[in-house]
Amino acid sequence: MASRHQLGEPVVVVAGVEKSFGSFKVLKDVGLIVRRGETVCIIGPSGSGKSTLLRCINGLVPISKGSITVAGREVNDPRLDKLSLRRDVGIVFQQYNLFPHKSALQNVMMAPIHVLKQDKAEVEERARRLLAKVGLSDKLASYPGELSGGQQQRVAIARSLAMNPKVMLFDEVTAALDPETKKEVLVTIQDLAAEGMTCILVTHEMGFAREVADHVYFTDGGLIVEHGPPAELFGAPREERTKAFLDKVL
Amino acid sequence: MSAGATDLPVLLPYRAPAPIAPSGLAAPVLLGGGTFAAFAILFGASLALAQVTARPAGEGATTVLLRWAPLIFQGFLFNILISFLSMALGTLIGVLVGIAQVSLVAPLRKTAWGLTQFFRNAPWLVLLFYAMFLLPFEFRVFGLTIAFPAWVKAIIGLALPVAANVSEIVRGGVRSIPSGQWESAEALAFTRRQTMWMIILPQAFKRMIPPWMNLYAILTMATTLISVVGIQDGLTITRAALVAESRPELMIPMYTLLLLMFFAYCYPIARATMALERRFNVKA
């Protein structure tokens, strides 16, 4: 899939980012560039700071040093308009985090109505379209508790898309799913990427990363050890650590 | 030495008895009925005893009791009224203080925490005295005098510990919602206030209901404290009736009658609380 569509200007630029929790350095000098329409996968062993990096990109976790810009906006700037940042950056979590007291449709509609103050009828129409897109037209009125993990995760994707983001972040979104439901979520993401949505995925699905990514980053110990197109990184890794990791997981 | 192989007196660990009926409703209902029956038997027996032991064979004990029962019941209804009003006031204040307890503003959070701890760990009767004797009996606002009768002060006095307990219930309920809810709300650009009112509190609400009902039942029973500060509640009237009749053998039947009224009111609340807890546990 690499370079199947024209890549645009950089949307997310991470440069020299460091993040510590107390005395523990989770990220040590991390840098990456994601262009418009690009699909980037971040792989690496657990605890290497992948999820933290994603949370830094949409400002959920403040960084200790360095710079992150999203669509030209400095995320670390204290005067940053968080609302406009989060409009541009959608995130989907491993544990779905749907609002359990709201139906699937309401979950998708809530933020556009209350945060973006958009017209309710218009939002509802868009929400229905998005849920249809993720294959859940028949589950509009279902509550999260009545849906399978895969269905919940697809509602979560629709919920993020309802904000019309420029970038979508996926944080190990299939890690809690069984193999069958995993597939339906991966297909949804693949469709999104094919439509030209800029996606950053933290994933343990090596096969999927290889297939869908334009660029793959391998992180270990808070550093980006190696990066490149999937064919190169998976086919001929240069670094010993990358090799050792791939040998273990493939 | 193997465990349990000693002839020394040892304190065995406390083992909670198995729940009486984890699924069915029948047994607890029977149990409640049994308790009620026990009370009724005690009541009947004490009444019969009073009947036969009345020294100058005067009026029958039942007759006396029947004469006073409506008045005692009126007093009991007054207790219920006080419990409603204290609960309403206490809940109103408690919810606000509870939300302040999870505020991001440190001074507000700490003040709310301090108030909660102070009133939660104070004896209810002392707080009641506090309210009775420290609040003025009337207010003057712009030359207008507003009376502040004892029963209003009593409501405030009882509302203080209720508010503190409600505050803790709210704090606990909010804390029990997984952090992922806050995180995803934040990622969708909800403000903290919107997150609290639209996402966290609606979910926490149903977890708060059972402890809140439990608190209400406790408050209802505690309303008899107001008789100590001279308000005409069910207990005051019962005592006055006993004084008026000056027949010591009527003491047990009279108090039991009052107990039965409270039991008949509070036990169903306790049952409903348990039923709700069970339902919410299953649905979680």
Query: pLDDT tens digits, residue range B230-250?
Result: 888 999 999 999 999 888 888
ipTM of predicted assembly, 2 dp: 0.89
A179 pLDDT tier (thresholds 50, 70, 90): confident
User: Poorest-confidence range of A207-216, B16-25, B168-177?
Assistant: B16-25
Rounded to an integer, the average pLDDT of A86-96 is 92
Mean per-residue pLDDT of chain A: 90
User: CA-based diameter of chain B, in Å?
Assistant: 83
Q: Is the pLDDT of residue A202 over 90?
A: yes
Rounded to an integer, the average pLDDT of B99-117 is 95
The CATH number of domain B28-280 is 1.10.3720.10: yes
Instruction: Return the structure tokens found at B78.
Output: 């007054």
Whose CA is closest to A87, among A160, A153, A144, A12? A160
Residue B200, min C-alpha distance to chain A (Å): 9
Instruction: Return the structure tokens found at A140.
Output: 């509009």
The continuous run of DSSP H or E covering A13 comes out as strand A10-21
Q: How much is the pLDDT for B57?
A: 58
Ordered alpha helix ranges (H), chain A: 50-57, 82-88, 104-114, 120-133, 149-161, 179-194, 206-212, 230-235, 240-249
Whose CA is closest to A43, among A175, A165, A144? A175
Q: How much is the pLDDT for A138?
A: 95
Q: Is the pLDDT of residue B26 over 50?
A: no
Residue A111 and residue B283: Cβ atoms within 8 Å?
Answer: no
For chain B, which residues lie within 8 Å of any Cβ of chain A, measuring from their own Cβ?
178, 180-181, 183-190, 194, 198-199, 202-203, 283
B284 pLDDT tier (thresholds 50, 70, 90): very low
Q: How much is the pLDDT for B31?
A: 66
Structure confidence by residue, pLDDT tens digits, B206-229 = 889 999 999 999 999 999 999 988
Structure confidence by residue, pLDDT tens digits, A130-171 = 999 999 999 999 999 999 999 999 999 999 999 999 999 999
Distance separating alpha carbons of residues B113 and B164, to the nearest angstrom:
9
CA atoms lying within 13 Å on the CB side of residue B103? 17
CA atoms lying within 13 Å on the CB side of residue B240? 15
Residue A101, min C-alpha distance to chain B (Å): 6
Residue A1, min C-alpha distance to chain B (Å): 29
